[in-house]
Structure 1
Amino acid sequence: MAVKLLGSIFIPVSRLEASIEFYTNHLKLTCRGIEEWGDGQRGATLFVSNSPAGAAMITLAETKEPFMVSDRPWFNFSCSDATEMHRLLQAHGCRVTELVSWDSPWNRHWMFDLYDPDGHPINLIEMIPIDAPVV
């Protein structure tokens, strides 16, 4: 028996509908619907539209209890054209960090953090292989 893939990352949220709207409108994730988990608990699983069938990305878990918001991202999303994404998110009034670029021996990286309605930072990163032409 072995792990096959990451099933989902659970993110505590205070307002489920507002969080669904944020993740679907700004990150273009697909929500399969709100689930009732019993005892008044609700959640929603969101996917990247081109992910393999059944591969969950994140689950928004609504809670009425106080929860910790990390000052550092717990995960990142690989994206294309991070520069344009950064510009568009700023234009839509989203809270983002500065766009930064750095190189590793393998890739050129463009990245920034985006903050969801509860203040969770989400890292967005574009990685371009060093030997690829820069556009």
Structure 2
Amino acid sequence: MGYITAVRIVAIQVSDQDRALDFYQQKLGFEKLMDAPLPEMGGRWLVVGLPGGGASIALLAASEDTAVGVDTGIRLATGDAVEAHEALTGQGVETSELISWPGVPPMFTLQDQDGNRLYLVQE
């Protein structure tokens, strides 16, 4: 035990890597960390992350074996869920209603350009 030391990259399949890169940079504030040809997987190895580090997201070209428009299960953090919800909705990002249950931090879901669902949870 103890061989795994961190979660570095999670992957999301996207139908258009350039369009996905634009969404994650312009709407969510991610930076491009890596962009390398990867013809074996039908596109390139495209990785985005938040300024300051942490886990990153690989935006992989979708294929017959990998679908877009899925619930990624990825939870992103924010300091203010209400403000983030208003800002993203104002930018035209598809979001759910903001939910807040007793004892649970405020949160909502958002969808990228391919309908991949992510969660934004207040820290």
TM-score (norm 1): 0.79
Shift of 1:42: 1.3
Q: Tell me if 1:67 matches 2:67.
A: yes
Say which one has the larger Rg: 1
CA contact (8 A) 1:113 1:121 kept: yes
Which position in structure 2 is the counterpart of 1:45? 47
4+ residue segments displaced more than 4 Å: none
Paired residue total? 120
Q: Relative contact order (C-alpha < 8 Å, sep 6+): which is higher?
A: 2
1:101 maps to a residue whose letter is S
Which position in structure 2 is the counterpart of 1:25? 26
2:113 maps to a residue whose letter is P
- How much identity, in percent, do the aligned residues show? 24
Which position in structure 2 is the counterpart of 1:97? 96
1:118 to 111, 114, 119: 114
Aligned equivalents of 2:95 and 2:108: distance in 1?
7
TM-superposition CA deviations, 1:74-124 (whole Å, max 9, x none): 1110111111111011111111000011232xxx51100010011011100
Aligned equivalents of 1:7 and 1:87: distance in 2?
29
Shift of 1:62: 1.1
TM-score (norm 2): 0.87
Which position in structure 2 is the counterpart of 1:85? 84
Superposed CA RMSD in Å reads: 1.8
Aligned equivalents of 1:90 and 1:69: distance in 2?
19
Aligned equivalents of 1:103 and 1:25: distance in 2?
33
Which position in structure 1 is the counterpart of 2:16? 15
TM-superposition CA deviations, 1:29-74 (whole Å, max 9, x none): 11124221133431311111122xxx5411000124361533x441
Aligned equivalents of 2:121 and 2:36: distance in 1?
30
CA contact (8 A) 1:16 1:43 kept: no
